[in-house]
Structure 1
Amino acid sequence: MKTKNIRKVAILGAGVMGAQIAAHFANAGIPALLFDLAAKEGPKNGIVNKALAGLKKLKPAPLGDSAVLSLIEPANYQDDLEKLKQADLIIEAVAERMDIKKSVYDMVEDYINQDAIFATNTSGLSINELATVLPASLQSKFCGVHFFNPPRYMHLVEIIPTNNTDDKVVSDLETVLTTVVGKGVVIAKDTPNFIANRIGVFSIVSTMHHGAEFGIPFETIDALTGTLIGRPKSATFRTADVVGLDTLAHTINTMKNGLPDDPWHAHFEQPVWMKALIDKGALGQKTRAGVYMKKGRDILVLDTDKGEYRAQNAALDPRVVEIMKKGKPQDRLTELHALTDSPQAQFLWSIFRDLFHYCATQLEHIADTARDIDFAIRWGFGYGQGPFETWQASGWNRIVSMIVDDIDAGKTMASSPMPSWVMKVDGAHGAEGSYSAAEDSFKPRSTAAVYQRQLFPDRLISEQAHYGETIFEDDDIRVWHQGDEIAIASFKTKKHIIAEGVLKGLRKAVSIAEKDYKGLIVWQTEEPFTLGANLAPAAMAISAGQVDAVEQSVDFFQQTSQTLRFSSVPTIMATRGMALGGGCEFSMSATSVVAAFETYIGLVEAGVGLLPAGGGLKEIARRTAKESFGKDLYPMLEHYFKKVAMAAVAGSALEAKQIGFLKPCTEIVFNPNEILYVAKAKVKYLHDKGYTAPANEQNIRVAGEPAIANMEMMLANMIEGNMISEHDYEIAKRIAIVMAGGFVDSDSLVTEQYLLDLERKYFMELIQMPKTLARIEHTLTTGKPLRN
C-alpha cells in the first residue's frame, strides 16, 4: 500500500475546529498552513495568530506537545493564496453556512494543486450542493469530511463523497485519515447530518421527548442515560452543554429544514426551555450556564417549571438500576418493557425502541451498512455499543415484535411501519458481514490495504478476535504468537496491574522468546497498557512486619526490568493509554517502544509516597550520563527530578519524548489499532539487522553529592512556600539521592546494580513510613491520591 504523501496541509478557517484540525496534523509532524481573513487592524495574520495562541490554553489540549505549534504557518486570503499550491490536502473549515463556504471556494479555486485533495469540513450541509460552485477541474477531487470535536480525541471522521468524487480520492483520504492521524473512518451518504449526527441527534431529541412525556428531571435523565446504559458519563444534557446548546439547535434545524419527508419530522424542534436558554445566551459550558450551572462548588440544574436553577436530586428507581447492572444483556430491554409501573423503566425502553425504529427505517438512505451506523455512533458519540448491536444483543426478533406492538398501539414517536428487512434477518451483523438495506445483502468489511495494518480492529457484536496460538498461559499473563516467529505477551490482570505472576510470566516469556522467537512484544488486548505495580500485597506485608519479603519482591521487579533490557532478542513495549509506574519502567528498560500517540506515561510513585524502584531511576541516571557526555550532568538531572518528584504523566507520546520517558527514537503510531503491526515490523527489522543485547554498564557517571545538595535546596524553598508537605520533601529527597548516584563525589563512576541497590534501599525506607502506608491505603480505597 502506498499512502498518499501529504507533505503539507492547508486548513481554510481558523475557528475552533479549523485550528484544532491544523493542530492534529501538526501533532503527526505534517506542516500546516492555517488561513483566515486578513485582519482589518494590526498584523494581517492577527486572526490566525490569536487562534494559535488559543490552542495553548484549550482543554483538553489539542497539541500533543506545544513545540509542534511551530509547524503551523499563519496565512491570509489576501496575501498568501499562492502558498496554497504547496498543499497536498486542503480542508475548508469555515462557518456552517453555504454562502460563506461558497465565497471561500471562489477565492481559492485557482490555487489548488492538480494532485491535491480538496475537502469541506461540515457537520451536515449538502456536499453535492457545495460542489456546484466549483469548476469542472475540481469536481473529481472534492468531497466532504466531518471531524468530531475535539478533533484530536474523537476517533470518528466521516468522509462524504459527491456524485463526482473520484474513488481514488476517497481511498487516499481514508488512508491518510486512518494511518497518518489515527482516525476511524466511516463513508457516509450525502444526507443531512450524515450518519453520526443524524442518529446521535435523533437519540438526543428522542431522549428529550420521552423525558418530558414521563416527567423525568434533567439530572435523573443524565443518571439514566450515561454509564448505566453503556454511554459516556456526560450522558444527554451534560453532553448538550459541552457541545453547546446553539450547536445542538443548529443540527436539529438542519434535520428540520433538510428532511421534510422524514416520518419523525414533527419532532425536529427545539424544546421551549432550550430556545429560552439560547435566547438569553446560556449556551452551556462555554457561557458557564446551560442546562447546568456551576455556583461555587455546586453544580445546579435548570428547573423548567420555575425557569431557575436548583440543587440536583437524581433519584433512580432501584429496580431499573438492578436490571441494568445485574441483568443479563439479552434480557435487559425485555425486563424494562415489562416494568410497566416504573416511569424510568418505560422511559429507557422508549428511547431504545424509537432509536431502533429510526435506524432500521433510515439505514438504506444514510449508510452503506449497519456497520457504518454502529461504528459512527460508537466513535462519534462514545456509546459502548451501536444501536444495531444493542438491538441484536437484546434478542433481535423478540425486540422486533415488541416494537411492532408499540407502533400498532400508537406508542412510538412515528407511526411508520417497521421496514420489511428487519423481519427477514436475525440480526444486522452476521458471520458474512453487516446488513446493507440498499442492496439487501450482508457485506464484509473493507479489504483496503490500510486495514491490513489493523491486526485486531474494533469489533462488532458478531465478530470474535482470535488472539493467535497460545505458547504459555496462567491466571496473570498469556504468551502467544501468530505464526510469524514473534512472541507476544498480554497481561490478564485487572487494568493490567503488574502482579507477581506478571513478573514471573514476563521472565518466562523472555526466556521462551530467546530460545524460539525473533523477539518479544508486550501488547495488551485493550487499554490501559498498565496502571503499574500492585501495591496492596506489599503494604499488607509491611504491616505484618515482613520487611525482607517486600525487599525481595522489589529486587524481583528490578531484575525483571533488567531481563527485558538484556534479552538476547529485542523486547518491544507496544503502549496505548495509561502506562504508569512499572509500565513506564518496563518501557525505559526494554529494547524499544512503539507508542500509540495517546500514550500517557509517567513515573507516578511519589503520589503514593514511594519512589520508582523497578529500574526507572537507574535508567534516568544512565540516560543522563549518556546524553550529557562530556557536559554537566545537573541540568538534565534536575529536569527529570522535577517530573518524577511531581509524579508527572506525559499528555501524549510526543510529550513523553520531550520529557525523556520515551527515547527520541521511539516510534509513535497515531492509530492505536496499528501499534502491534508496527511493533512486529520493528522486531523484524532489529532481528534482520543482527540484534545483539546491550552490555551491562559498569561505568555510569553520576552527579553525586553536589547535585543532591542543589535539589535539596530547591525542595527547602518549596516547603518554605507551602508548595509541598514535609512527607513530599522526604520522598523527593530520596528520589534526588538515587538519581544523583548517592553520596559520592561528582563524576564518580558506578554500576547499574549499584543504582538498583540504591533504588531498593530508599524505596524500603519510604514504604515503612506511616504516612506512605496511609497514602497507599487511601489510593487503593478511593482511587485518588492523598496529600499528607
Structure 2
Amino acid sequence: MNKTIRKAAVIGSGIMGSGIAAHLANVGISCLLLDVVPKQLTEEEAVKGLTLENPAVRNRLALSAIAKLAKTKPAPLYDNSFASRITAGNLEDDLSKLAQVDWIIEVVVENLEVKKGLLQKIESVWTPGTIVSSNTSGISINDMAASCGDEFKEHFMGTHFFNPPRYMKLLEIIPGEHTRPELVSFMKGFCEKVLGKGVVLAKDTPNFIGNRIGTYGLLVTLKEMTENGFTVEEVDAVTGPAMGRPKSATFRTLDLVGLDTFVHVADNVYNHVLSESERSIFAVPPMLQTMVEKGWLGEKSGQGFYVKKKVSGGSEILSLDLTSMEYVPQKKPKSASLEAAKLAKGAKEKTKALLAANDRYSKLAWDILKQVLVYSAEKVGEIADSIQEIDDAMKWGFSWELGPFEAWDAIGLQRSVERMEAEGLSVPAWVKEWIAAGNSSFYKKEEGKLYSIQIGTSQYKEVEFAPEVINLRSLKERNKVIKGNSGASLIDLGDDVACLEFHSPNNAIGEDILSMITQSLDEVRKNYKGMVIANQGRNFCVGANIMLLLMEAQDEEWDEINGIIHQFQNTMYKVKRFEKPVVAAPHRMCLGGGVEACMPADQVVASAETYYGLVEVGVGLIPAGGGCKELALRASQQAIVDGVELQPFINHAFQTVGTATVSSSGYDAKRLGYLRPTDRVVANQDFSIHEAKQTVLGFANTDYKPIPEEKIRVAGSEGKAVLQLGAIEMKRGGYITDHDLLIAKKLAHVLAGGDVPAGSLVTEQYMLDLEREAFLSLCGEPKTQQRMHYMLTKGKALRN
C-alpha cells in the first residue's frame, strides 16, 4: 500500500495521550497534541496578567503535558530534545489542523458519548484517506463510530497502546466492521517496523484481548485468595517469577495500575457480556470497592495493597491484611513448591516445579492457572482468531514469560485436561477434539519452524513472522551453527553473512568468547562477506567476567590478569582492522566490555531500548578493552573536524566514564558519545539483527575498506591536570571518596594520553598500554577488590 505517516495528531494530553505523542516523536513523527481549552485561569496565570484568550492559557493542558515529559520517570522520550517534535494546541483553535495530518489518535476519557462527540468533530475537518484511531482500552470501536459516515468508518480503527507507550511492546489493533482490510495491514506493518511494537489483531469485544484475559486472571486470583485465606505477600510469591510472571506479581501490579483503573476495566466487561456466569467473575469484590472508596488506589495515592512507612533507620514496606484492613509487616512465604520453582531454570520448568509439589502454594498456583487456561480457550474465536494472538498479548502486554497456551503445553496438555475434568472444570470441546485427533500440544517445532493449531481443524499451521525477524534459536535448531564453544557460537544467517552470538551466563565476556571471536574472524575471512555481532539474550552483555578477575587479583596473579586484558585488547583490535565488514547489534543492557565489543565495529545498529555504558568505575576499575582509547580517538577526530579545542571533548568523556553513566536509550548513547553519529538506532528489537545483516551486505557490496589506523591527538599532561583538578574539587566537596579520587586520577591519566605534551600524536597501541597499566594497578587495590566482591554478591556498586 503506497501510504506513509509523517505527521500525526493526538487528542488528549493526559498520561496516555502525552506518552503516545512522545513515542511518535521518538521515531521521528512530528505530532500535534490537542486538548480542551481551560475555563479558568490558574493563580500563576492571573499574576502574570494573562487572560483566557491568551494562547499560553488556551494551550495550557498540552503545553504542561509536553513540559512534564522531560521530568517523567521512566522517561517517555528517547532523548529530551525530541520534545521539539511535539506542537501544543487546543480543540477550538487548532481543530482545522487535523486536515493536515496522516494519522489522528483519540485518547480522551473512557466514555462512549464523549468519544462519539469527538469523532463527529474530527469528521467535520477530516481529509478523506487520513487514518483515525481510538486508544480506548475496551469501548466498542463500532459503537464509537456509529454516527459517522461510511468513508470515515472505513478509515477508523482501535489502536490500544499499553502504558507506558514507549516501553510496553503490545499494541492491539481493533478493526471496526467497516475498516478497510488494507489499512489494517498497513497499520500493523507500520506499528511493528516504525513504532517498534508487537501488534496483535483483536476483535471488537469488551476489553479486547490483553485486558480481558488479564482482568479475568486477577479476579480469579482474588477469589481464590479470599476463599482460602492467603495473604497478599503469599499470593505475590506464587503469582510472580515462580509462575513465569513479573516480580510485581498480582498486588504490586494492581498498585502500579491503580485500583480505580482496574475497577473501571472490570466493570466494562461486567456491563457488556451476556453470559451471567462470566459476569459473575467480573463483579468487583467488595474489598476492592472499599479500598477505592477509601482512596487506597495504589502508588498514585501512596497506598494500596502495599504502603511504605518510615521507621527508625529508614523505611519499611507493609502489606494489607484483608481481614482487619490494616497494614502489617510482611512475612516472607516459604515452601517446597516455591523453593523448587526458584531453583528451576526458565519459565516452563519453574511452572512445572511449582505445580509438582504437594503443598498449599502449589494448589493455589494450579487453581488459578487452570481457570485462566480454560477461560483463554473459551475466548478463542471470540476475542481473537488464533491462540498466538492471545499468547502474544499476554507476553507483550503483561510481561508473562509464557502465554496461556504455551503454559498449557509446558505443564502437559492431555494430563492437565484430565485433571481439570476430574475436578469438575468444563474444558472447551475444541481442546478435547484437538487431543482426540492425536495432538499432544498446541504448538510444535519441526526443522526450526514453529507451528500452532489451526482453529477449526485438526491440523497445525506454520506461525508466520515478519520477514525482518531473524530468530537465532530457530537457526541453531536448523543446524546453522558454523562453530561454537561454551561462550559463543558463529551462526550462518544466510546470504553469506555470519552472526557471532554470545551465550555465556549473562553474556559476560571471558576467554571462551574472546577465543570464539578470533576463530569467527578466521572463518568469515575464508567463507563469508561479513559478520554481525548480536544475540537474543535478555541483555546483550553485562561486561567482562568480574569473578575471574577477582579470583586472579586475590591470588595476586598479575601476569594472568595482564594476559586476560592483553587478549581482550588484541581481539578488539583484530575486529577493528578486519578486512571484511563487522556490524554490532546491541540491545537492552550493554555494559563495560559489552560496549568495548561493539566499539570496533564498522557500524552499530542498536535497539532503541539499549542501555549502554562504560561502568567499570562501579567496580573500582577503568575501561581497559579499548573503551578509553576509542573515546580519546573520537574526541581527537571531532576536535579536528570541528576545528575546536580538544579539552571539552575529553572533559565530556571523563565525566561520562567517571560517573559510570548509562544511556537511557540508543539515542541517548549518541548524546553521551558512546555511539557515533554514523551508528543507527532501530525501534523494534526483533528487527535489529536483520538490519545489521543488511548493513553488512551494504558494506560488502561496495568497495569496502577496513577502518585505517590513525594517530590520536591527546590532551597530554596539561589536559590531565585539568581533569584531575576537577576530581580533587569533587573530593573536597565531599562528593567522592579517596578511592573514587584514585580511580579518577587513573582515568584522567589514560584519557589525556599520559604525561606527553598537549597536542601530541600517539598510536592506538600506546593508549591501550596506558589502559592496561592503569587497570592492573587498580586490580591490586584492596578497595577495588571489595567493590568487585560487593557487585558479585549484592548486584550493586559499593562506595568505599
TM-score range, shorter chain: over 0.9
Query: What is aligned with 2:540?
Result: 529
Would you say the 8 A contact 1:360–1:419 is kept in 2? no
CA offset at residue 782 of structure 1? Answer: 2.0
SS at match of 1:313: coil
| Counterpart check, 1:686 vs 2:699 | yes
Would you say the 8 A contact 1:3–1:176 is kept in 2? no
- Of 756, 771, 778, which aligns to 2:783? 771
| Between 492-501 and 327-336, the greater mean CA deviation after superposition | 327-336
Change (3 A) 1:68 1:351: same
Query: What is aligned with 2:25?
Result: 26
User: Structure 2 counterpart of 1:288, which letter?
Assistant: G
CA offset at residue 275 of structure 1? Answer: 1.1
User: Structure 2 counterpart of 1:767, which letter?
Assistant: C
User: Structure 1 counterpart of 2:434, which letter?
Assistant: K
SS at match of 2:645: coil
Alignment of 1:669-680 (within 5 A): 669-680=682-693
In structure 2, distance between residues paired with 1:262 and 1:307 = 30
Change (3 A) 1:554 1:420: closer
Query: What is aligned with 1:505?
Result: 516
Alignment of 1:634-783 (within 5 A): 634-698=647-711, 700-783=712-795
Would you say the 8 A contact 1:214–1:343 is kept in 2? no
- CA deviation string 1:611-641 (max 9, x = no partner): 0001111111110011111211111111111
Would you say the 8 A contact 1:369–1:443 is kept in 2? no
SS at match of 1:186: strand
In structure 2, distance between residues paired with 1:149 and 1:602 = 27
User: Structure 1 counterpart of 2:220, which letter?
Assistant: S
- CA deviation string 1:439-478 (max 9, x = no partner): 776444346xxx1111229x9xxx8864662222122221
SS at match of 2:10: strand
Would you say the 8 A contact 2:347–2:401 is kept in 1? no
Change (3 A) 1:466 1:500: same
Change (3 A) 1:476 1:420: closer
| Counterpart check, 1:389 vs 2:401 | no
User: Structure 2 counterpart of 1:677, which letter?
Assistant: H
Q: TM-score, normalised by structure 1?
A: 0.94
In structure 2, distance between residues paired with 1:162 and 1:456 = 33
Would you say the 8 A contact 2:153–2:178 is kept in 1? yes
In structure 2, distance between residues paired with 1:3 and 1:691 = 34
Query: What is aligned with 2:111?
Result: 97
Change (3 A) 1:335 1:604: closer
Would you say the 8 A contact 1:227–1:235 is kept in 2? yes
- Of 525, 536, 543, which aligns to 1:514? 525
SS at match of 1:74: strand
| Between 313-322 and 479-488, the greater mean CA deviation after superposition | 313-322
| Counterpart check, 1:574 vs 2:573 | no
User: Structure 1 counterpart of 2:547, which letter?
Assistant: A
CA offset at residue 373 of structure 1? Answer: 0.8
In structure 2, distance between residues paired with 1:326 and 1:593 = 35
In structure 1, distance between residues paired with 2:527 and 2:309 = 63
In structure 2, distance between residues paired with 1:167 and 1:519 = 40
| Counterpart check, 1:242 vs 2:256 | yes
User: Structure 2 counterpart of 1:18, which letter?
Assistant: G
CA offset at residue 104 of structure 1? Answer: 1.4
Alignment of 1:56-135 (within 5 A): 56-135=70-149
SS at match of 1:628: helix
Change (3 A) 1:70 1:500: same
| Counterpart check, 1:424 vs 2:434 | yes
- Of 484, 496, 502, which aligns to 1:491? 502
Would you say the 8 A contact 2:340–2:350 is kept in 1? no
- Of 421, 427, 434, which aligns to 2:452? 434
SS at match of 1:589: coil
CA offset at residue 748 of structure 1? Answer: 1.4
Would you say the 8 A contact 2:340–2:354 is kept in 1? no
In structure 2, distance between residues paired with 1:53 and 1:224 = 41
Query: What is aligned with 2:645?
Result: 632
CA offset at residue 111 of structure 1? Answer: 2.4
- Of 439, 442, 456, which aligns to 2:471? 456
Counting aligned pairs with the same residue, the percent is 37
Would you say the 8 A contact 1:93–1:121 is kept in 2? yes
Q: TM-score, normalised by structure 2?
A: 0.93
- CA deviation string 1:167-211 (max 9, x = no partner): 111011101110001111000111101111111110000000001
CA offset at residue 325 of structure 1? Answer: 4.2
SS at match of 1:480: strand
- CA deviation string 1:616-673 (max 9, x = no partner): 1111111001111121111111111111001111011010011110111112111111
In structure 2, distance between residues paired with 1:472 and 1:750 = 38
Would you say the 8 A contact 2:336–2:357 is kept in 1? no
SS at match of 1:258: coil
| Counterpart check, 1:48 vs 2:62 | yes
Change (3 A) 1:54 1:453: same
User: Structure 2 counterpart of 1:634, which letter?
Assistant: Q
| Between 298-307 and 322-331, the greater mean CA deviation after superposition | 322-331
In structure 1, distance between residues paired with 2:229 and 2:2 = 53
CA offset at residue 435 of structure 1? Answer: 3.1
| Counterpart check, 1:350 vs 2:363 | no
In structure 1, distance between residues paired with 2:720 and 2:134 = 57
- CA deviation string 1:368-423 (max 9, x = no partner): 0111111111111111111111111211111111111222xxxx5xxx56334434
In structure 2, distance between residues paired with 1:149 and 1:191 = 20
Query: What is aligned with 2:389?
Result: 372
CA offset at residue 515 of structure 1? Answer: 2.5
In structure 2, distance between residues paired with 1:670 and 1:390 = 29
Would you say the 8 A contact 1:330–1:395 is kept in 2? no
Would you say the 8 A contact 2:483–2:489 is kept in 1? yes
- CA deviation string 1:117-171 (max 9, x = no partner): 1110011111111110222221111011111111111111110101110011101
Would you say the 8 A contact 2:27–2:194 is kept in 1? yes
| Between 738-747 and 285-294, the greater mean CA deviation after superposition | 738-747
SS at match of 2:157: strand
Would you say the 8 A contact 2:242–2:354 is kept in 1? no
- CA deviation string 1:523-553 (max 9, x = no partner): 1132311111112222222222221221122
- Of 410, 423, 437, which aligns to 1:406? 423
Would you say the 8 A contact 1:467–1:480 is kept in 2? no
Would you say the 8 A contact 1:13–1:94 is kept in 2? yes
CA offset at residue 277 of structure 1? Answer: 1.4
User: Structure 1 counterpart of 2:191, which letter?
Assistant: L
- CA deviation string 1:30-86 (max 9, x = no partner): 111111112333522110111112212222111111111111111211111222122
In structure 2, distance between residues paired with 1:248 and 1:401 = 33
Unaligned regions of 5+ residues in structure 1, if any? none
SS at match of 2:67: helix
CA offset at residue 326 of structure 1? Answer: 4.6
Query: What is aligned with 2:48?
Result: none
In structure 2, distance between residues paired with 1:507 and 1:4 = 46
- CA deviation string 1:242-301 (max 9, x = no partner): 000011101110111011315332121222221111112111011111111111211111
User: Structure 1 counterpart of 2:31, which letter?
Assistant: A
CA offset at residue 323 of structure 1? Answer: 6.0
SS at match of 1:365: coil
CA offset at residue 774 of structure 1? Answer: 0.9
Unaligned regions of 5+ residues in structure 2, if any? 46-55
CA offset at residue 336 of structure 1? Answer: 6.7
SS at match of 1:145: strand
In structure 2, distance between residues paired with 1:546 and 1:10 = 62
In structure 2, distance between residues paired with 1:194 and 1:266 = 19
SS at match of 2:373: helix
Change (3 A) 1:783 1:371: same
> How many residues are paired up?
771
- CA deviation string 1:476-526 (max 9, x = no partner): 221121331112111121111100121121122122222221111111132
Change (3 A) 1:243 1:218: same
Change (3 A) 1:327 1:446: closer
